[in-house]
Amino acid sequence: MSLKPLSFVFILGWVILAGVSGTPHAVASDLKSVRKVLVVGIDGCRPDALEAAETPNIDRLIKQGLYCENTDILAARGTKGDTVSGPGWSNLLTGVWPDKHGVVDNSFKGSNYQDFPHFFARVKEARPELKTASFSSWPPIAEKIVSAADTSVNAKALHASDYLKADDELSVAAAKSIREGATDVVVCYFGQVDETGHAHGFHPTVKKYVESIERVDGYIARLLEAVDERQKSAGEEWLILVCTDHGGSGTNHGGGREKPEIRQVFLIASGPLVKPGKTSEPTYQVDVVATAMAYLGIKLDDTWKLDGKSVLEITRVVEK
């Protein structure tokens, strides 16, 4: 980048002005106040099926962002968590592994969300002014995992047997809430990809499975439209994280510790502080919370005992 002398003078003047007119603390909090986070969760989405699917919206996030291709759903240290949704979403949403949050299967027996809550609780502890919202079509998220949510939509509760309707509806509700400027930290979970995998098979050659990913991409379009609008009209800066809880093999994914098609997933981070590209650095489900917190300027409190690391720190990337 080359600067013309005039713009240099202008920038210098601006820096001096900013220096005298506000404390460094005020500058930092102004910066923080435009930062928002959207976490999109797609249950049971294999990376190779995502690759096979026509997903222009997720592709845009990958193109503009960081694609972590080596994301593990299990801890490097031994824990008893199975490769199913209960522990998976608990890892993703609390930022700690099953030996801390206590959820090892879908019974949720032994859960310790008291000591290791949904990260909304930590967000509120550090920045109580931030509004949090959870939209989900898997009832245990709203009923068991979520805490400190200003808004919590349990879409499946309204459409007991229909994930398609539930996902569709929750994406409309989430987009509305973003568009209205009602939320700062949003989690939006879609359940139909996992449901379709259980019915027809988790594999990139299974048409119905791939089509379910494409439908979810259409719902994500709504969220991105709302985010784009806010970025233009209100100067907000959104970090978007896309994640999944497990892959699948045949029509199942439980007991998949030894199966890479179940255990190895992806993580996408797209936004202002992200170094774009593809990385094979080891990343983990618990990194989602650490990344969201880092972006929001929230220093991790040692007493929270979070397990993850922010992917914003990853700088060794290759072009996609």
Contact with Zn ion (CB under 5 A) among 167, 168, 169, 245? 245
Tell me the window of 6-14, 39-47, 49-57, 104-112 that interacts with Zn ion (CB under 5 A): 39-47
Helices 207-234 and 56-64, packing angle to 10 deg? 60
**Considering beta carbons, is residue 72 or 225 the nearer one to Zn ion?**
72
Dist CA 35 CA 47 (whole Å) = 28
Query: Which among 247, 289, 258, 304 is positioned nearest to 44, based on CA atoms?
Result: 247
Annotate each residue in 121-160 with x if it binds Zn ion (CB under 5 A) or - if it does not, as one string: ----------------------------------------
Q: Which two tokens stand for residue 212?
A: 């379910």
Annotate each residue in 174-213 with x if it binds Zn ion (CB under 5 A) or - if it does not, as one string: --------------------x-------------------
Q: Which two tokens stand for residue 16?
A: 């001096």
Contact with Zn ion (CB under 5 A) among 57, 83, 85, 310? 85
- Residue with tokens 């222009």, as numbered in its chain: 56
Which stretches of 182-319 are DSSP H helices?
192-200, 207-234, 260-263, 287-295
Is position 44 an interface residue for Zn ion (rule: CB under 5 A)?
Answer: yes
Q: How far is the CB of 198 from Zn ion (least distance, A)?
A: 9
| Cα diameter, the chain | 66
Tell me the window of 75-83, 128-136, 216-224, 237-245 that interacts with Zn ion (CB under 5 A): 237-245
Tell me the window of 79-87, 99-107, 143-151, 264-272 that interacts with Zn ion (CB under 5 A): 79-87
What's the Cα-to-Cα distance from 201 to each of 12, 47, 204, rounded to whole Å? 60, 14, 9
Contacting positions for Zn ion (CB under 5 A): 43-44, 85, 194, 245
